[in-house]
Amino acid sequence: MNAANEMSISFSALSENEAFARVAVAAFVLPLNPTMEELTEVKTIVSEAVTNSIIHGYKEGNGIIYLQCKILGDRMELVIEDHGVGIEDVDVVRQPLYTSRPDLERSGMGFTIMESFVDELEVDSAISRGTRLRFVKYIRTPQSAAHYEV
């Protein structure tokens, strides 16, 4: 088994960086040869998590978002972290259609979408300290690079 391939980036919590973050991760996982559907799932996870950090974590104010991605075999591990306000009750925000900001026309589907597009999702949050999301996703397609490894 080869050592893990890793990357990390940090960027300002600005909405124009949502596209940058999802494209960066998509480009990084490309060697796993994901299907278009898997690639869309990866981009969507990143977009949801980064948007949450911007809107909820930093309340659209200044802040830095930290993103790490690791590939090990056919497994992708992704960590997206902010040092924002934190989540009071993680179980509540994970409920479908829940949103703390109906005024912003949020659909409340972010967590539901993230959960259905990954194999594992861990939420670690502390008030006034920030929120860290850790995702694990397997790129399992027959044509994926890992399939040909011994």
Q: Would you name the residues annotated as active-site residues?
A: 48, 52, 106
Task: Say how far apart CA 147 and CA 7 lie, in whole Å.
Answer: 22
Q: From CA 70, how far away is CA 56, in angstroms rounded?
A: 26
Restricted to residues 68-87, the positions that interact with other proteins (CB under 8 A) are none
What is the distance between the alpha carbons of residues 137 and 118, in angstroms, rounded to a whole number? 5
CA dihedral 85, 66, 101, 113 (to 10 degrees): -130
Q: Is 47 in the site for other proteins (CB under 8 A)?
A: yes
Give the per-residue contact string, 10-29, with other proteins (x = CB under 8 A; - = no). Answer: -----xx-xx--x-------
From 50-58, 75-83, 126-134, 135-143, span contacting other proteins (CB under 8 A): 50-58
> Which ranges in the chain belong to alpha helices (H)?
17-29, 36-52, 90-93, 110-117
Task: List the one residue from 2, 3, 105, 150 that touches other proteins (CB under 8 A).
Answer: 105
123 binds other proteins (CB under 8 A): no
- β-strands 5-12, 75-82 pairing: unpaired
Our finding on whether 91 is near other proteins (CB under 8 A) is no
**Which window, 44-52, 66-74, 124-132, 140-148, contacts other proteins (CB under 8 A)?**
44-52
CA 17 – CA 70 distance, rounded (Å): 20
Q: What are the residues binding other proteins (CB under 8 A)?
A: 15-16, 18-19, 22, 37, 40, 43-44, 47-48, 51, 54-55, 97, 104-110, 112-113, 116
